[in-house]
Structure 1
Amino acid sequence: MTTLHRAVFSLSRGRLLGRAGGMPVVILTTTGRRSGRSRRTMLNAPIVDGDRVILVASYGGDPRHPAWFLNLLDEPRVGLTLGGQDRPMRARVASAEEKVELWPAIVGAYRGYGAYQRRTDRQIPVVVLEPHAGHCPPRAGKWPGCDESG
């Protein structure tokens, strides 16, 4: 995505330009593992199944994990903006069995994920985001179901 696309998406809170490559575009809000500051990352979500959202920490097949993934390992309370709605979520890494089950649908949504996995020696993590009422990311008081204490 271009800088202009990111700006329009961000300003519209995902209501405009909400799809890329046939997949929904989301904003994932994590807490920086070193800084403790709120970090927002635009990502594609290959699977949105009701309230459950699946993300892929592919980093384009790079040998390193993306920063957003490392952040959610340290603090699984995350925020998700999807279709203009902010949602408090809890992130977890899919089990090996879950990944085997989800991978065909992930690659079906975007076959590049398969190429990324072949490009790297690391196992690309699949992240499951699930709603968690009252389980809010730090400083998310403006979100439905969250209070100022996070």
Structure 2
Amino acid sequence: MPPGTRLIQKVSSTRTFAKIAPHFIPAMDRAVHRLTRGKVMLSAQMLPGVILTAKGAKSGLPRTTPLACMPEGDGEGAGTWILIGSNFGRPGHPAWTANLLAHPDVGISWRGKDIQVRARVLEGEEREAVWQAVLKFWPPYATYQTRVDRQIRLFRLERR
């Protein structure tokens, strides 16, 4: 485990982080991603991340959202990606999850490459198995789940 990871995990589990992060982190990620022409995401220093471009569930307009992800496979983008709709432990599902449910064919930017994928919400035993892998990957997700009454949505992104 890289130095400082435990401290980052501890800080990211706090309620203060949950209040500030949803506003600050995506704005910083979008700005840095634009400035570096898709090569860098600031939050990827904590967790791997993608820039998701999906149609809005209601508007149908493109919506771009920086998101943490859990790569599956070799981690270089040859496999699949798991998106976790944690919303930093705040009530309500994040809007991007409704977008994926309504329009599952989306694009991601992964390490500077644009990739077309299809999103599939995970349910039942498949979801439970992936949830256990997610908790090993980033333990603060367990704290986020305890703060909300809803089940955190998990999506698998597969290349189209």
Scaled by the length of structure 1, the TM-score of the pair is: 0.79
The aligned counterpart of 1:39 is: 63
Structure 1 gaps of 5+ residues are 133-150
The aligned counterpart of 2:45 is: 20
Give the Cα–Cα distance (whole angstroms) in 1 for the partners of residues 90 and 124 of structure 2.
Answer: 20
Equivalent position SS for 1:41: strand
Task: Return closer, same or farther for 1:36/1:64 CA change in 2, 3 Å cut-off.
Answer: same
The aligned counterpart of 2:122 is: 94
Which aligned runs of 4 or more in structure 1 are off by greater than 6 angstroms? none
Structure number with the higher helix fraction is: 2
The aligned counterpart of 1:109 is: 137
The one-letter amino acid of 1:93's match is: V
Sequence identity of aligned pairs in percent?
40
**Residue-by-residue CA offset, 1:52-76 (whole Å, 9 max, x unaligned):** 1001011112221111000111111
Give the Cα–Cα distance (whole angstroms) in 1 for the partners of residues 26 and 116 of structure 2.
Answer: 27
Task: Return closer, same or farther for 1:95/1:2 CA change in 2, 3 Å cut-off.
Answer: closer
Structure 2 gaps of 5+ residues are 1-24
Q: Indicate the RMSD between aligned Cα atoms, in angstroms.
A: 1.7
Give the Cα–Cα distance (whole angstroms) in 1 for the partners of residues 26 and 120 of structure 2.
Answer: 29
Scaled by the length of structure 2, the TM-score of the pair is: 0.74
